[in-house]
Amino acid sequence: MNTYASTAPVETTQKLGKTGVLIVNLGTPDSPAVPDVRKYLREFLLDGRVLDIAATTRYFLVNGIIAPFRAPKSAKVYRELWTETGSPLKYYGEVVERELQKALGSDYVVTLAMRYQSPSIEAGLTRFQRLGLNSIIVIPFFPQYASASTGSVYEKVMDIIKSWQVIPEIKFINRFLEHPKFIQGFVQNGRKYMEKRAYDHYLFTYHGLPERQILKGDVTGKVCKLGDCCSKLHAMNQYCYRAQCFETTRRLVKELGISEGSYTTSFQSRLGRTPWIKPYTDEVIKELAGKGVKSVLAFSPSFVADCLETTIEIGDEYRELFEEQGGEHWQLVESLNDSPIWIDTLVDLVKTA
């Protein structure tokens, strides 16, 4: 007879801890004041994945030229963008943080972070570290993967957690351009304007990148031609930012029922003299107006929250350029911001991670 046998029921812990969800957007200055804008520009441009040049050159270029001279000009633009609730990008991020937490429930802890400035990724991860979480899911708010955006978030997260004694299971959401609800969110926003009037042309404009960054991503050195190679997304170019953007356009065009020949994919926000991915949005606008296009509906599917690049650059500056060239009606389709379908998209991404 085994005197050590127990008749007590065996108990197992089914749920040891919660899952942390770190949602990460690019970032914003703490205020539109020149010192805060300068601080933001320095952190952003000193990132080796953003300005991918020699570290010493980058340091002197950013601190000696770009930040000192660009900050006052950028501060003026940020003042135009700022609202009573502050930076739109940060405001929408805070709303999404609350709504996503409600939608996911008590088994999850949702925290907003910015790649640059506050709230920081380090602060979010430190919070998670102290909670004894089961796992962490990191969702960069970039629909298309790029080394300068999603890749930078990955690097920052890994740089922080590498010193932890205990590293929980960590999952990264690489991209979500293929998610049906992400596409449907922009479709819903676009249809609101399409139902009110007819447009001569539809423009899908994405944040640009230097061509060298796209070429460096082609580890074979044979696939990327910065041209028709982006006409289809496949295994060998699936991480090419340019190819992903064209794929996003194709999915949106299909759902919106836009006919061939009446839309264009382009890239904005280029800086410096080195070549950036083409076609350039400002040049496309001039060409469209020159061809007699009088009305344009513009989408910005590389941004999930309205910010300086959407509201000011696309919404105001490109409208002015279009009108100067003879255009009559320019309409920007708003980003997903804090819409219910964007919250649903994030819930799906978390649950299927």
Q: What is the dihedral of CA 334, 338, 340, 345, to 10 degrees?
A: 90
The CA distance from 98 to 112, in Å, is 9
Tell me the two tokens of residue 133: 């979480």
Q: What is the dihedral of CA 257, 227, 180, 335, to 10 degrees?
A: -80
- Is 179 known as a binding-site position? no
Closest Cα partner for 192 from 334, 4, 17, 20? 334
The CA distance from 40 to 192, in Å, is 35
Residue with tokens 């002015």: 320
- Is 309 known as a binding-site position? yes
Residue with tokens 């102290």: 130
CB 26 within 8 A of CB 40: no
Measured between its terminal Cα atoms, the distance across the chain in Å is 49
Q: How far is CA 213 from CA 49, 97, 166, 283, 309, in A?
A: 9, 31, 34, 22, 20
Any long-range contacts for 122-129 (C-beta under 8 Å, 24+ apart)?
Answer: 122/160, 124/22, 125/22, 125/157, 125/160, 125/161, 128/20, 128/22, 129/164
Closest Cα partner for 156 from 138, 168, 179? 138
Beta strands in 75-209 (DSSP E): 108-116, 135-140, 169-172, 201-207
Task: Look at residue 289 and give its three-state secondary structure.
Answer: helix
Those residues whose C-beta lies under 8 Å from the C-beta of residue 137, and which sit 6 or more positions away, are 19, 20, 21, 22, 170, 171, 172, 173, 350, 353
Binding residues: 207, 309
Binding residues for Fe(2+): 207, 309
